[in-house]
Structure formats: structure tokens, C-alpha cells
A and B are shown apart, each in its own frame.
Chain A
Amino acid sequence: MSFIIRGRVWKYGDNINTDIISPGQYMSLPVEKQAEHAMEAIDSTFSQKIKAGDILVAGSNFGSGSSRETAQMVLKHHKIGAIVATSFARIFYRNSINVGLPVVEIDTSVIQEGDDLEIDLLIGKVINRSQGTEYKGTKLPEHLIEMVKMGGLEPYLAKKLNIS
């Protein structure tokens, strides 16, 4: 996993909850089928237009609601580079770190759709190449940096439990 992520911005609003990201009615389907319905309640073109490495930018309270990791699974299926939001709901944030989906908290109000963002994940710095600006985000807590460096909780546990 790279800690420098660069990609194109798709911008959304506040309160993008888990029922929007991963609707309950599709959760028993294989992930590629679920992924077709990701975000469709607010953007029916999402699964067609999103490309590997693109960056999802949103307002406050991203990922509120359920603890379903299918929300991370469908975004990872679309190979989202990172999610940048003004704030995240607690369980979503924790799950993202556990599965190695990069998340950064900064005030996103001035970021525009189509902007070219570069993120340094470990120090929480975001450079907006389109606007020529730089934002200082929240840094990952110390105790999680090692886990993120290793690619998430599973590789971290494998090392901790001595499993190759």
C-alpha cells in the first residue's frame, strides 16, 4: 500500500451513510453485484464513472449508520484511492483503517469536483494540485500507523500471531 495517493476528485455532500454506500437489499449478493448499486440512491452514474485511483471527497459524517464492511468492500471493489471528508462516522473510520482503505479528515468545503488531489496518508497532508493549495488533515493515531503501513488489520494480526 502506497502512502502517497494521487487522483481525481468526485465530490459529494454531508451524511453519506452506509445505506447509500451499500444498500441493505443487495448485501447478500456477491461484492461485484453489490458494487453496481453503490451510491446509486444519490448518484445513479457512480459505478460507471468511478475509476481506479479516484478520490471520494465528501462533507461531514461520512459513513454514518451501520457497521457493515460491505461499504468498504464496494468502494475497494471500485479501487477508490482514498476518501477525504470533513468528518467520518466512528465505525466507518475504524473499519476503513482495518481493511486498508485510506481515509483522511480535512475541511473539504473548498475542494471541487474534478480537482487533482495528492494525499500523504501518514502525515495527513493533502495537496490540491488544481487549486495550488495545501491542507493539513488529522494525523493517524500513532498506534495505528504500523497497522496502516502493513496494509490493515489482517496482515498486522498475521505478524502478531506469527502466521506467515
Chain B
Amino acid sequence: MGMTMSEKILARVSGQSKVSAGDIVWVKVDIVMMHDLLGPWMVDGGFRRLGGQLFDKDKVVVVSDHCTPPATVQQADILKFTRDWARNQDLTYYYEFEGPCHQVIVEHGHVRPGRLILGTDSHTCMAGGLGAFATGIGSTEMIGVLLTGETWLKVPETIKVVWDGKIPHGVYAKDLILETIKDIGHAGATYQSIEFSGEAIKDLSIDERLVLSNMAVEAGAKTGLIEPDEKVANYLRSKGVDEELDLIRSDENASFSRVLYKDASILEPQVACPHEVDNVHSVSLVEGKPVDQVYLGSCTNGRISDLRIAAEILKGKKISKNIRCLVVPASQQIWMQANKEGILDILTEAGCIVNMPSCGACGGFTSGVIGAGEVVMSSSNRNFRGRMGSPKGEVYLGSPATVAATAIEGKITDPRKYLSMEVR
């Protein structure tokens, strides 16, 4: 019996030639990631009580993104604590005001195929888009990892999701993942990995692959992996990574708990309706729902390709007078690229407001939370009650194209009528 990608990675980091789903293994972590809200501020007490010695200052990456820019004194205090901690621990890698951690660690080359990455955030699984085994852990568990560089993991079973067919016009990675979550259910992959494969996935850019892996946790999964290929190698080379990469893949005879075959060619734009991410419907069924705010951003869908799609739709148009449209590039690098390409001008001329890269309103933290009775159409990853502010608000999730088209009409809109008919 061969091994899945997850099994291969966990075998390597536990120093074994073979592991199988269900095994409990002690693993050495390659990269440890913390952010401001669930990082140093939360772990420092226990960390110091247990000696306060980092296992490796080059492997601990801290990103301040949730409290940036601080909206309250408490957030400013947390941010200061995080910055001081990073300095006192002499960390090699500390980033702040650069954007959401998941995007920042990808852009700075910390995420590489075959690595084991643990982070204090549930969307750490995004790194699986480049072929890393990455998952979220809690702050207490992080204390142990910071001290020893190790923890235990149960080797997960893997659900293989095969997306074949050409992705149609107006349909994007976000629509694929929403349809996948609808199919698997929001807890259907609990304790398991998801491996995305198939012709449609190979066709996706790195930007889009990261959307799929980012949202694997919304099906309950431990991680979401995509087989790394030359696109990943080229991407990492462009980020200055020159080491030889382990372009890991599942063996032909690996064992999967389930294999789902999906046809991308018949997929329509999808929308996740309140208040669960698996409450997914084709856009035609929710079209016309009035919204108060549109949110284009987040680690899920705030990358340059997302902003380009929005700009294509919004160029020369105006957003509805009844709404506000917040654009939050997923990193400072993306912000600069969008600026160079004139995208920020196009979006602001259309009436959008461009905020700084951060976790912002996606998690209800800063800059654009919603009030009671308000409705948001968002390109982010979670629509739980209270996620973006008031528990009496409503969050709908869709692709950047659906979000941009919704901004024009002020109600949920099928983006296809605003896109040129060019095949992607």
C-alpha cells in the first residue's frame, strides 16, 4: 500500500519510512506561525513558566495582522506586546502591517512543498495549496511547540476531491470550494485531510489554489493539500527560494477514505448563505438579495488575480449608491502590484474604499464590521453568526466576481453578465 501526501509528510517529520492513517506520531515542526491575537499575548505566561527558551528562532514566524491597524487601545496593547516579544526573542522573521499571516508566509517563502507548518489560526491550512501539511493549533499547544519544536499528530485519512473539466466563464476557485463544502458538509471532513486534484485544479493559478486549501477547514478538515508542480516551483523561485523542492505526491496505490469526482465544466457561480459555509446555492437562487456592504479581500480572496477580476467588472462603472464596497488587498505586495497596474484607481473611481491589508472586518476585528440587520456579500471564508460584527447581521460568501457584480447592483448578482466572453 502506498502513502498519501499527508502520510508522506508526516512520515518524514516523525522520522519513519512509513506511517498510515490512524497512527499517532511525534513530529518535528518545520515552521511555526503565530499571529498577534492568538500568539505571544496568549502564550507568553505559560511559555515563561516552562522556561521560556525557544526551540529555534529561525523557525518561529510571527505576523501581526488581526489588530492592525489597532482600532482600540486593547488592540494597540496586544500589537505592542507582540512586537516587543518578537524583538525580545530575537526572532528572525517578524512581520506587521503586511497583511494576513497566511498570505504573508506564502509570499515570504516560508511555505514550501512537503513542510509541516503549525499555526495558531484555523486557516493555516492555506499553506497546503503549495503542498505543505499545515494545520491550526491552539495557543496552549503552541507553548509546547515553541519550547520543543515537537508535538503529536494523528495521521489523518484523506478525502480525495477530483475536479475534472474546464472551469467555465465566470466561475472561479471560490465556486469550486463552496460546491465542495456543500457536498462534503461543514463537518464532513473532520479529522481528515482533503487532497484536491484533477485537470481543473492543475489549470488553477497559485492564487486560486490557495483559495481551495484556505477553506478546507470549512469542511472540518485538518488540512487541504494540492500536489505541487512546476507552477509552485516557479512561484517559489520568484520569491527567492532557490533550494531544491520536494514535489511530493500521493502514490498511485495510496488509500483514500473517499474519492469524490466533480465536473467543473457544469458549475455555476456559488454563494454560501447565512449562517453556515455549507449552506451553498447557485447564484441564480439568491440573486436579488439586497446588501448593505460588499467586502473584497481576506486571505481567501484578496490576491492580485482577485483584484484584477473585480477591476475588470467595475472598470468605468459605479457601485450602487445604497452600499459601501471595502477592498482589502491580502498583502502589502499585492497592494503595490494592484497600484502599479492601475487597479486601485479603477476600484476607487468606481466608488470602492481601499483599506490596508489586514484581517480587518473578515473576523469582526477592525475597519468595516457590520451592525444589526446589515447584510454583507463577502469574498472571505466564514459566514457564522456574528463573524463580521453584529450577531444580527448576515454574511453571504462568493467569488470576487460575484462580490464585484453585487457592488454594482447593490443586490446579489450573477457576475457573468459583467464579464467579457473570453475563455479563461
Contacts and interface: CB of A to CB of B under 8 A. Distances in A.
B121 A154 contact: no
Interface string B38-68: 1000100010011100000000000000010
B345 interface: no
A23 B386 contact: yes
Contacts of A87: 187, 190
A87 B185 CA distance: 14
B325 to A, nearest CB: 21
Indicate the size class of the contact surface on chain B: 35 or more
B137 A23 contact: no
Contacts of B144: 153, 157
B276 interface: yes
B184 to A, nearest CB: 13
Given A24-B364, A90-B220, A141-B24, A163 B136 contact: no
Given A60-B187, A61-B186, A67-B122, A41 B138 contact: no
B75 interface: yes
B385 A67 contact: no
Interface in B133-167: 136-141, 143-144, 147-148, 152
B38 A69 contact: yes
Given A23-B391, A41-B391, A143-B24, A64 B186 contact: yes
Contacts of B24: 141, 143
Using C-beta atoms within 8 Å of the partner chain, give the interface range for chain A.
Answer: 35 or more
A66 B218 CA distance: 10
B369 interface: yes
Interface in B316-366: 363-365
B74 interface: yes
A163 B144 CA distance: 13
Contacts of A5: none
B97 interface: no
Contacts of A89: 187, 190, 220
Interface string B12-56: 000000000000100000000000011000100010011100000
B331 to A, nearest CB: 21
A150 interface: no
Q: Secondary structure at chain A's binding surface: helix, strand, loop or mixed? A: loop
Contact of B138 (A23, A69, A143): A69
A24 B140 contact: no
Contact of A19 (B78, B141, B387): B387
Contacts of B303: none
A24 B75 CA distance: 12
25 contacts: A15-B276, A19-B387, A24-B364, A24-B386, A25-B389, A28-B75, A60-B187, A61-B186, A61-B190, A65-B384, A66-B121, A66-B363, A67-B38, A67-B124, A68-B38, A69-B139, A69-B140, A87-B190, A91-B138, A98-B138, A143-B24, A153-B144, A154-B49, A158-B50, A161-B51
